Structure 1
Amino acid sequence: MSSMEKYLIYYYLQSDHSSSVLALTDKHSNLPEYALYGALVYIRVGQYVEAIRRLNELNRHDMGDCKLATLLLLIVAHKKCMDPDFGTISELELSLKQAQPCSNEKSLALAALGLYFTRHVDKAIGFAEKVLKLNSSNVEARLVLTWTELSKKQTKNANTGFQAIATLEPKCIPALIGDVLTSTDRSEQLSKLNRILVQYPTLDAPLIEKLAVCLSGKDWIECNELSERLARLNENSSVANKMKIFHLINVQGNYEEGAKQLLTPYSTILEHEMPDPCPVLFDWSKLFARICGRNKSILSVTLKFVQHCAHSQLNSVPYLKELAYQHYLLGQYDQALRGYRSAIKLDDSSVELLSELTLAQWEIGARQMNEQISQQLDLLTEISSKSPSPHITLIQISQLSSQTEIRSRLDGIVRSQMSLVARQPFGYQYLIDLNVDLLLTVLAEYLKLSDSTPVCISLLVHLTTLCPGLIPAALLLARLYLTIPGPDSANQMKGILGRLIETRPEYSLAHVMLCLVCVRENEFDKASQHLELALSNDLKLIETPLYNAMKGLIEDHKGRLVESVHSLKTTRQLIQSKKGTRYFSGSQPGSQHSSGTGFELATIEQEILHTLDPTTLCLVYQKLCSNLSKTQTQPSEELDKYIGEASTLLKGTHHWVDVSLMIAEVKEKTDPKYSLELLSKVPEQHDKYIQAVESMASIYLNRLRSPDNYIGCYKTLLQKTPSTENYVRLAEAYLNIQDADSAVATYETARRVNPSVKFGVKLARIFVKTHRYEAAIRCYKEEGSGGEGAIELATLYVGLGHLDVARETLEGLERPVLASPVLAKISDWKSCESLCSQLLNSNSGGAPGVNGAPPAGITSTGSAATTARLMLADATFRRGDFQSASDHFASIVSSSQEQGQGMNYTALARYIEIQRRLATLKEGRVTDMLAGKVGRGVGGVRPPGYCYCQGLFEWYSGNPLVALGWFNRAKHDSEWGQQSLHNMVEICLANPEVAGSSIKPGNGGALEMADSFIKEMNPCSLEEDWSCKLLSNFIRCASLDRIEFEMALNEFTRLAQNEGTRVGASLGLAKCYVHHNQSSRARNILKLLAKTPWTFEEADYLESCWLLLAELLIQDSKLDRAATLIQHTLGYNKSSAKSYELLANIAESRDELDTAVKYYNQALRLGVSSEPGLSLKLASLLLRMRRYGDAMDVCMSARRKDASTWHAHRTVYERAMNHLRT
């Protein structure tokens, strides 16, 4: 008897895989122990007669180790029979008493297993403890006790027990898998399962458990791959078939194919799921019926499954109840009613049965109350007052009129269903207990309420996360987002529709809806592409209002007014004809459905295509009327008709003001007074009020030629709302009528009203426009020496030819380097360098030095040249000429020290950055610069700029703890604080060993420290806020907590849509996908960044993206492409140890071992981490090359640096030593 087969039987019994147990026991039916396990299966499934027959057969022939267990199981089987034979039970108990004194270790262990698997846990524990007294290492007894602890939720004790068993018996599959199940970290579980799979590649048990773990993490792709792998091991595997069908239905939403595949294994289950296929069929039918959105193809198959169960066991209440429920889901209420009545005859005390029966009666009566239903409701409400049935609540809701009360009841149902699965991992049973179909029914009721959009979105987001294949729910969610203005909603909608297109590229409706989103965001090129794809997949779209509306709006953007008018007229005609259901959905989508969930796919598709929401409808009429007025030379009745229709349709909605603005625009040529009358009716509280005022002013100025009334509009606006912005509007209005004096007076008045607001720059710009340069210069000077005013003033001086004065003006900037991107207005750094060189050249008299060393004479010009030289150095650095930039910054630092001006920390910080990128940090003059006397401030305290630079140097030199200390000193400074905190977070993420440092004593691990630094950050700009969000999500990602990880994944997806955070968010997304073993998705994201131009602001994220992509390409054996990317990275950062490590990997793959050694040595030289992996790889490679002495030197060098790494190098060292001795 194979010990592996025996342990597999234990696993299958524990996991309720009865057919797998019988498959093994039937192979060895001549062995008593196997026969015992076979009989045990029949007891577990309730077939006691067959179990007794098998056990009697075993009892007659076996007098050995199985005797005690056989007698115990016979007693159990007889007692569970419908008509127990108490005489036989007494005889068996007498035989048991006689057999017990003769029991040995094995017989007691078998008895313990038999009692445990028949759910007599207390007795099983007693026998297991007896076994352990005889032999403390008995595996079976230990398994029984550990399983018992696991069932009591004593996870830590169970984990210890499983690990101890696995140590005693490494082949014990139940212990190995038990160790996995009691691990709390999902990545650890997957790692352990992978090790088991490597050791036992032909066993299905670890694959089954890995599939469950991946399913709990919603890793759909991995689940599908695992099911295919399981099917290759066993083509009749119900686990594999179930996942394959689940993926089709729940993930892809392919119901037709899912129904076909669901029918295929039916005969296989009947044939192979022995001794009783009903539990499997019952489980499948419950699952798929609740997640298919009442798809009739799926429900017809699941109904067939449950019918087989009900006919096989006529007195089974659960089977009859499920049969009735599935008739209900199919809308077959009469048959459902008969089913519930049959079940109630067998169990008349079930409140749930009576509740569902009442619901069926209510549906049969067309959802009308009658006396019988009313009495049953009163009875059920009284019985279950503390936890009312959701079905009863749904009936009661129909009788309520208060929306607040209805919403409260619906909230109660949702809370109740969520509480059922609160402590469960995601899986099949989770979906059965949650009952997705019931939540969809609740959602349909929510949609009938006003202001229910937020709660509907929340519920739909949850449901579509659990069931991505619920296409009607995804479409409805996208449509609800459509009703919410703003970029966030648009991005969410894009994400939903994008996922639909990923699984169904030919899905035309998703393309049309994406077209609508793109139109609203003015992305007309993308909108046109989506519309063309939609039409190519479904020509019937031509007959729908939504398609024609999109076509008309796109044509309008292209300037094809005639074609636009034609399409928009067709839209209007289709809406009014029978093809259109109505002008727009006055209530929320789904409110028109009177029964069921109302989420049939065809119904929702037709509603979206034939129903325009108010915003789109308003846009259609705006463009139709506007374009019609542009294409007609004379007013027409047709135009007036469309204007009247728009007013009628959108009256009472939020868009009536948009209609008024549109009518005013159309009528301003022919009837400007009517336009003014319409615009004057827009209330002050409306968000389009200022636009209305500006339109009125435009009509007065451009149509009626009345400057006084034009100015009067802005004066009235200012009187009603005396804000700074309105003063600016009035001043700009004066400028539009060439009244500069009044504009200046308005700004002066605004300054008196609000002294805290400075208008110097705005006044100066007015004076510049009117060529009053002296007044402009005076205003710029009054504004102060910092900010944009100083830069504009310097630019004005340059324009006037006063280069010396321009240089002096720029010298006063607090952050001179900021002048560089402002002067280079279009990020043309060469032009910026040229301008800076001109400023320098005006003083030195020499030729401008742009690409080489600083021009002669610069160092002698003193502080007057410092600002311009900083701008020149920064422009050179951003252009990628690091060597020239290094010379510039070094010159600035040296001259500032020599002239006693104090250390220029801006230049020093950039110099350190450049030295790091040139891999000359330790060879450069940074140490001497930092050691200078100017490094100390007042009272010997180091200034924040010095602390920041010293921290930067220590960080790049490989001393993260020391760097943290220096950054900590600078973090409260207004100039250096934010970047210091940013760097501290980066250090914590890259160096877990910083946990527990003196910076944050007692604050837990490195991630907790990082999180505390994030909380200290105070973003003052949009860019800083983006940076803070990226870091927060990298912390979430590094935590490996499932919930935090999912939040990070969602946030990275959102941030990746933003140009300012695209690179960093893409890196985060790629790391998430790599962690989820979705390397192809990570690679696709990173490929988009492969040719992204290098910028200093995103340099670290961009280089990390390139290296991660190179690493993935190496895994795919695309070595040339990977090498090209790595060399590209080294072009910008020669100190990248990771780059050299990857080059070494490539060289090893090509058997270029000497080159690999060279790259490993370079990586070790540049590496700033004490992680022993690099040195171990190098030592192993040298050993392989028979360079034993060099291998030993590498091992000893690693030991001297960090003694804790010696255990990793010792094997290589000893092997090299042995080779040298021989």
Structure 2
Amino acid sequence: MRKNQTRKRENLEVVDADRIAIYLELMDSYQQLGQLAEVDAVMREARKRWTDKTEQQQFVLMEANLKLQRKDINGALEKLSSVPTTDANYQIARIKMAEIYLNEKKDKRKFAMCFKEIAQNNPSPMAYVLLGDAYMSIQEPAQAIEVYETALKINPKDDALAEKIGQAYVQCHFYTKAINYYEAALKSGRKPVMRMRLAELLFQLEYYEKCEKVLRQALDADQNPVDIDRMSDHVSYWSLLSKLYFENGNWKEAITALERAREIQLSIISKPPGEVANLVEEKKLAAKICCQLAELHWNRRDANKAIDLYQEAIFFNNTDIKIMTALANLYLSLGKLDACNTQCQLILNIDRNNDDATLMMADLLYQSNEAGKATIHFTQLLNRNPNQYHALARCIELSWRRGNVEQAEKYLRNALNMNPRATLDAGFNYCKGLNEWYTGDPNAALQAFNRARRDLEWGERATYNMIEICLNPDNEIIGGGTLDYSQDCNTNNGNDRGVGTKIAEGFLKELQNRPGLDHKYRLMENFIMLMSGNRTNVQQALTNFLSMAETEDSGMTSVGALLGSARAYVMLKQIPKAKAQLKRVLGHTWTLEDADNLEKCWLLLADLYINQGKHDQASDILRTVLQHNASSIKALEYKGYICEREQKWDEAAANYEVAWRLSKCKNPTIGYKLAYNYLKCRKLFECIEICHRVLELYPNYPRIKREIMDKARANIRT
């Protein structure tokens, strides 16, 4: 045995190529460890061993890397440029030179020249593809097309190359040429990916009819594919077709198409493991499709179907935090607090510092009437990061709902102290806009929201808030007639409501969502129609609101649709029908998502009761409003009004005092009412002080001087 092993060792011949490989590996190891002196020593030994031999060229790349690591850019380029065109490492050396020119020298011309030299030295399809890719990477698609076409002439059967040409046309904005190219490629029998690229381009250009035709041709030609590649193509086709229907507002067709994509994808997953190349990725795609379907169903308020689909998505991809967060948000919106809590705990088990889950946990506490604990959660999050704007926005909202407006101001100051440049952040401006809106300064709120309007993360919600302000700058109870301040001097009463409606329409058009599918978009579209004042528009909005409420899942109540229909009925003088709609939300579970619309419904119903002299019923509703929002200025005004009617001047003044404080002592209407009730309960000095404050802000408000302040002074004299 030993003799055999000795004989084998004797027969083992180590050639120069092996020795060079060992030297290179050794130098590479030293280089990765940062031991450059050892690399130099090994390099000197290697040079000495292979001086004046062709093998010496193999060390050039390593020498160039060493110079690069020492920031000797020119030295590295000089070394690499010394590699002759006949050397096997020529192409690698030129590619390395190109990287240095682009990344270190920022010289795009010389970057492209390196690849051009490769193509000139070896005019192969691969060399031309490298040159074309180089042109694309430096935003020169026109030159890339020319090079790709040269490569395609050499290798006309290369589908990947044909696809690159089409993409280059698109990048050049030669859309007509790109469409013609893709169509010609399809006729010549190119792979299905070309059909998908054509359909995607047509979709992008909003040529929906032509896009549908291209997709339908493939789907109708093979309605039940069994080959995995063909099945995958059909999944892509059906998914894009669903997007197309979505854009056109055809929600039923969008769901049907996406359901078909899901069915085919599930069939792919159920194939024997050996037939599926990458089962994990296929399951991720199935999860993605399920999530898209869930969103469509939730937009139609089919909550049960949406939950089932999110759960199915998690089954296929149980580590995707985005899916788990979406399901938790859905549970929270439905008031299913235990289910939401379970989902949040699962998220925190994967990522214990996940902000979304932490925020939802705090929301859960708030909706469970544990506002104190919720605030502690938010405060802890803000202490870790005062510029966590999602937490800041929620803190401002919850502080407002608890009647602690000063705390909201403190949170904003802390964020600004920690980051003086926060005023440039969209998130901060959104939060500032919220605070200004809540405290009755619509102009300041509009300015702040406008600074967040173009942001990808905050833009949509800021725009929706701006639309609401434009439609109702004075935060009136639309449809209500009890608190009629049309004669009062308010900062916005001079505004033309028609102008506000037109501006709101413009903002709505900026949003990407489609009225046929997005619930909030459809609501806002019809609220704008309602505010036009045109009877035909009001009737059409009413029909739409009723249709939205009727087509929603029977287990769900769209509070927004009920609010819209009630407002429309009031405008059409059909008060009993309005009350019937509003009464439907009296027992509705309070959630943060529905909070604003619920409050508007309750306040409108209270207004109708007050007009009918039913003060007890109105007071019960107002107590509910203030239970969920201690800063509801309108609820306090209504309470003050009821007390006035009952001649309880002290109680009326107490309610107006709180409303005056919450509005930062800026609302002249509330100031007038407060001064009036101070006059009635003989608080004459306080009355005069309020009058002075109102006149200081609104000098053109003589009514308060004539009707209240002069009388208070006369009473003091007597």
Relative to the length of structure 2, the TM-score reads 0.53
Say whether residues 1:1005 and 2:522 are aligned partners. no
In structure 2, do the counterparts of structure 1 residues 1085 and 921 end up closer, same or farther at CA, with 3 Å as the change threshold? same
CA deviation string 1:593-633 (max 9, x = no partner): xxxxxxxxxxxxxxxxxxxxxxxxxxxxxxxxxxxxxxxxx
> Do the aligned residues in 2 keep the contact of 1:919 with 1:1133 (CA within 8 Å)?
yes
Deviation, structure 1 residue 1067: 1.7
Give matches, 1:1092-1103, under 5 Å: 1092-1103=588-599
Matches of 1:820 and 1:1080 in 2, distance apart? 38
CA deviation string 1:98-137 (max 9, x = no partner): xxxxxxxxxxxxxxxxxxxxxxxxxxxxxxxxxxxxxxxx
Matches of 1:1221 and 1:960 in 2, distance apart? 40
> Do the aligned residues in 2 keep the contact of 1:958 with 1:1169 (CA within 8 Å)?
no
Match of 1:1052 among 541, 545, 548: 545
For 1:833, the aligned partner's letter is N
Aligned to 2:529: 1036
In structure 2, do the counterparts of structure 1 residues 1193 and 1076 end up closer, same or farther at CA, with 3 Å as the change threshold? farther
Aligned to 2:455: 973
Aligned to 2:712: 1216
What is the count of residue pairs matched by the alignment? 441
Say whether residues 1:1184 and 2:680 are aligned partners. yes
Say whether residues 1:821 and 2:329 are aligned partners. yes
In structure 2, do the counterparts of structure 1 residues 741 and 764 end up closer, same or farther at CA, with 3 Å as the change threshold? farther
Deviation, structure 1 residue 1158: 1.0
- Helix, strand or coil for the counterpart of 1:1219? helix
Say whether residues 1:1132 and 2:628 are aligned partners. yes
Matches of 2:261 and 2:649 in 1, distance apart? 74
Give matches, 1:579-658, under 5 Å: none
Say whether residues 1:931 and 2:416 are aligned partners. yes
Matches of 1:1214 and 1:1159 in 2, distance apart? 24
Matches of 1:973 and 1:926 in 2, distance apart? 22
> Do the aligned residues in 2 keep the contact of 1:820 with 1:872 (CA within 8 Å)?
no
Deviation, structure 1 residue 1100: 0.8
Give matches, 1:708-857, under 5 Å: 714-715=225-226, 723-724=234-235, 725=238, 729-730=263-264, 732-733=266-267, 739-741=271-273, 744-745=276-277, 759-762=282-285, 792=314, 796=318, 810=321, 818=326, 820-821=328-329, 828-833=336-341, 836=344
CA deviation string 1:892-950 (max 9, x = no partner): 121124xxxxx22111111111111112122343232331333637xxx7222222122
Say whether residues 1:869 and 2:377 are aligned partners. no
- Helix, strand or coil for the counterpart of 2:405? coil
> Do the aligned residues in 2 keep the contact of 1:816 with 1:867 (CA within 8 Å)?
no
> Do the aligned residues in 2 keep the contact of 1:989 with 1:1038 (CA within 8 Å)?
yes
Deviation, structure 1 residue 1080: 2.3
Aligned to 1:117: none
Matches of 2:547 and 2:677 in 1, distance apart? 44
Deviation, structure 1 residue 1159: 1.1
For 1:948, the aligned partner's letter is Y
Structure 1: runs of 5 or more not aligned: 1-683, 695-712, 752-757, 767-786, 798-808, 844-861, 898-902
- Helix, strand or coil for the counterpart of 2:513? coil
> Do the aligned residues in 1 keep the contact of 2:660 with 2:666 (CA within 8 Å)?
no
Say whether residues 1:911 and 2:389 are aligned partners. no
Matches of 1:1076 and 1:927 in 2, distance apart? 43
Aligned to 2:703: 1207
Greater Cα shift, 1119-1128 or 815-824: 815-824
- Aligned residues: percent identity? 28
Structure 2: runs of 5 or more not aligned: 1-212, 239-259, 290-308, 475-490
RMSD over aligned CA atoms reads: 4.4
- Helix, strand or coil for the counterpart of 1:923? helix
In structure 2, do the counterparts of structure 1 residues 1174 and 1219 end up closer, same or farther at CA, with 3 Å as the change threshold? same
> Do the aligned residues in 1 keep the contact of 2:262 with 2:286 (CA within 8 Å)?
no
> Do the aligned residues in 2 keep the contact of 1:1141 with 1:1160 (CA within 8 Å)?
yes
> Do the aligned residues in 1 keep the contact of 2:566 with 2:577 (CA within 8 Å)?
yes
Aligned to 1:1026: 519
Matches of 2:687 and 2:229 in 1, distance apart? 82
Match of 1:892 among 375, 381, 406: 381
Matches of 1:1132 and 1:946 in 2, distance apart? 25
Matches of 1:1044 and 1:825 in 2, distance apart? 31
Matches of 1:1123 and 1:720 in 2, distance apart? 63
Deviation, structure 1 residue 792: 3.6
For 1:1177, the aligned partner's letter is K
Give matches, 1:309-708, under 5 Å: none
Deviation, structure 1 residue 1128: 0.9
- Helix, strand or coil for the counterpart of 1:864? coil
Deviation, structure 1 residue 834: 5.3
Say whether residues 1:1116 and 2:600 are aligned partners. no
Matches of 2:333 and 2:429 in 1, distance apart? 33
Match of 2:574 among 1064, 1070, 1078: 1078
Aligned to 1:341: none
- Helix, strand or coil for the counterpart of 1:1199? helix
For 1:715, the aligned partner's letter is V
In structure 2, do the counterparts of structure 1 residues 816 and 991 end up closer, same or farther at CA, with 3 Å as the change threshold? farther
> Do the aligned residues in 2 keep the contact of 1:1113 with 1:1121 (CA within 8 Å)?
yes
Matches of 2:227 and 2:612 in 1, distance apart? 69
For 1:962, the aligned partner's letter is A
Matches of 2:498 and 2:576 in 1, distance apart? 35
Matches of 1:723 and 1:1186 in 2, distance apart? 80
Match of 1:1147 among 619, 623, 643: 643
Matches of 1:1152 and 1:995 in 2, distance apart? 29
In structure 2, do the counterparts of structure 1 residues 836 and 931 end up closer, same or farther at CA, with 3 Å as the change threshold? same
Aligned to 1:900: none
Deviation, structure 1 residue 1013: 1.1
For 2:641, the aligned partner's letter is N
Say whether residues 1:982 and 2:464 are aligned partners. yes
Match of 1:921 among 405, 423, 448: 405
- Helix, strand or coil for the counterpart of 2:407? coil
Matches of 2:325 and 2:418 in 1, distance apart? 24
Matches of 2:470 and 2:534 in 1, distance apart? 17
Higher RCO (CA 8 Å, separation ≥ 6 residues): 2
In structure 2, do the counterparts of structure 1 residues 741 and 1045 end up closer, same or farther at CA, with 3 Å as the change threshold? same
Relative to the length of structure 1, the TM-score reads 0.32
In structure 2, do the counterparts of structure 1 residues 1185 and 874 end up closer, same or farther at CA, with 3 Å as the change threshold? closer
In structure 2, do the counterparts of structure 1 residues 1186 and 957 end up closer, same or farther at CA, with 3 Å as the change threshold? closer
In structure 2, do the counterparts of structure 1 residues 1022 and 895 end up closer, same or farther at CA, with 3 Å as the change threshold? farther
Match of 1:1172 among 651, 668, 672: 668
Matches of 1:833 and 1:721 in 2, distance apart? 37
For 1:977, the aligned partner's letter is G
Deviation, structure 1 residue 1130: 1.0
Give matches, 1:48-127, under 5 Å: none
Aligned to 2:658: 1162
Aligned to 2:20: none
Deviation, structure 1 residue 985: 0.9
Matches of 2:493 and 2:324 in 1, distance apart? 37
> Do the aligned residues in 1 keep the contact of 2:314 with 2:324 (CA within 8 Å)?
no
In structure 2, do the counterparts of structure 1 residues 795 and 927 end up closer, same or farther at CA, with 3 Å as the change threshold? same
> Do the aligned residues in 2 keep the contact of 1:1007 with 1:1039 (CA within 8 Å)?
yes
Deviation, structure 1 residue 728: 5.5
